[in-house]
Amino acid sequence: MVVLGIESTAHTASVGIVSENAEVLGLASDMYKPASGGIHPREAANHHVEVFPSLVERALASAKVNPRDLEAIAFAQGPGLGPCLRTGATVARTLSLLWHRPLVPVNHCVAHIEIARVLSGLDDPVLLYASGGNTQVIAHGSGRYRVLGETLDVGIGNFLDKLWISLGGQFPGGPAIERAALEGIDLLPLPYSVHGMDVAFSGMLTASQVLHARGASRENLAYSVEVTAYSMLTEITERALAHRKKEAVVLGGGVACNERLRTMVGAMAESWGHPSFAPPKALCVDNGAMIAWTGLLAWRAGVTIPVSASEVQPRQRTDLVLTPWRNG
Ligand code: ATP
Ligand code: FE2
């Protein structure tokens, strides 16, 4: 069984093709990079309109797959930016009608989780999903993924991006902060905002900008922000492990590319004698392969949607989606 997946929730347009044993047969992506500032949804959607036809061709060619070999067309239905989601959904509907293949809706957050879970080989881990728009600690229970803790304001990646741009850098900020942090020496005092199982970043953003105005270097700020923010995430992940009595941790989302975060969460899990895992970076960031894989799981469990009912869901939460493929 081979499924094609379309991702277009935010800055990245991507087409992935995945087989039944979770092998990524083909993956073609193109990221919209704003000339300055953050993402402009309409401009990002226009970018996706331009690149999707060639991404579909490239993914099929690299997978050496013919459209008639495909079992289903999966697409990210939400959450995300409306104009971007609608572009990807239009491509998916077109392919579904053209090639007479069923359309399968996929939740983008669940897709980050499922690709990390299958690659890890860990069946029932706690998941730390850290991306641009989302920051959640998740565990599965009673038919769906349950959000145990999350950000109370912005996603950690958006926080890193916003901070870096305000320090004179460019989008995306996360990888640039990771490089700058390697040169940092001093750990500057920043707000450590953990509220029960939740976290918040806006206080740290303001405090970092104030410290910068007072002469703190970008390197020291990057180092201090990483240590503080990733400690917060490690703490709530550890508490989720203990309370839910799970025995493994899996990371997903773009910020899970970060080596310091991987190391800190890995050390925490190891201290309990538990394994941890983060996917290769190309599968941590937004990609069509995770949509294809989750679409394959969903399709096998009988999930499909008629084109006429396939409108996008910009606010679809992780814990709203049923996961029939995990129910035994
Ligand atoms: P979602 O819709 O799931 O919130 P997203 O649209 O933000 O996802 P992702 O590709 O999952 O997209 O994540 C992108 C984010 O990951 C950006 O904010 C980027 O700065 C951050 N990021 C990427 N690489 C790193 C890194 N090495 N360290 C820290 N952050 C990173
Ligand atoms: Fe994402």
CA of 213 to the centre of ligand 2 (A): 32
Model confidence pLDDT, tens digit, residues 248-291:
999 999 999 999 999 999 999 999 999 999 999 999 999 999 99
Which among 109, 257, 291 is the best mutation to test ligand 1's pocket, defined by most ligand atoms within 8 Å of the CB?
A: 257
Kindly tell me if the per-residue pLDDT of 38 is higher than 80: no
Model confidence pLDDT, tens digit, residues 81-91:
999 999 999 99
* Tokens at 38, concatenated: 């953050």
Model confidence pLDDT, tens digit, residues 125-157:
999 999 999 999 999 999 999 999 999 999 999
Cβ partners under 8 Å of residue 300, min gap 6: 1, 325
Listed by start position, the domains of the chain span: 2-112+283-326, 123-274
Mean pLDDT of 94-99: 98
CATH 3.40.50.2300 fits 123-274, yes or no: no
Q: How confident is the model at residue 171 (pLDDT cuts 50, 70, 90)?
A: confident
* Tokens at 94, concatenated: 């077109």
Query: Cis ω on the peptide bond leading into residue 125 (within 30° of 0)?
Result: no
Strands 24-31 and 12-19, bridge-based pairing = antiparallel
Percent of the chain topping pLDDT 70: 100
CA of 12 to the centre of ligand 2 (A): 9
Distance CA 216, CA 278 (A): 32
Distance CA 14, CA 288 (A): 5
Percent of the chain topping pLDDT 90: 96
Paired with 108 in beta bridges are none
Kindly tell me if the per-residue pLDDT of 328 is higher than 70: no
Model confidence pLDDT, tens digit, residues 228-255:
999 999 999 999 999 999 999 999 999 9
Mean pLDDT of 180-191: 98
Given a contact cutoff of 8 angstroms between Cβ atoms, the answer to whether 293 and 22 are in contact is: yes
Kindly tell me if the per-residue pLDDT of 28 is higher than 70: yes
H and E: helices and strands count for the chain: 10, 12
Task: Write down the pLDDT at residue 12.
Answer: 97
Q: What's domain 2-112+283-326's architecture?
A: 2-Layer Sandwich (3.30)
Closest CA to ligand 1's atom 30? 174
Q: Say which ligand is closest to the CA of 136.
A: 1
Q: Which residues of 127-148 are buried (b: 16+ CB within 10 A; e: fewer)?
A: bbbbbbbbbbbbbbeeebbbbb
Cα-Cα end-to-end distance for the chain:
21
**123-274 shares the fold of 2-112+283-326:** yes
CA of 54 to the centre of ligand 2 (A): 22
Paired with 24 in beta bridges are 18
Given a contact cutoff of 8 angstroms between Cβ atoms, the answer to whether 218 and 212 are in contact is: yes
Mean pLDDT of 311-327: 95
Q: How confident is the model at residue 41 (pLDDT cuts 50, 70, 90)?
A: very high
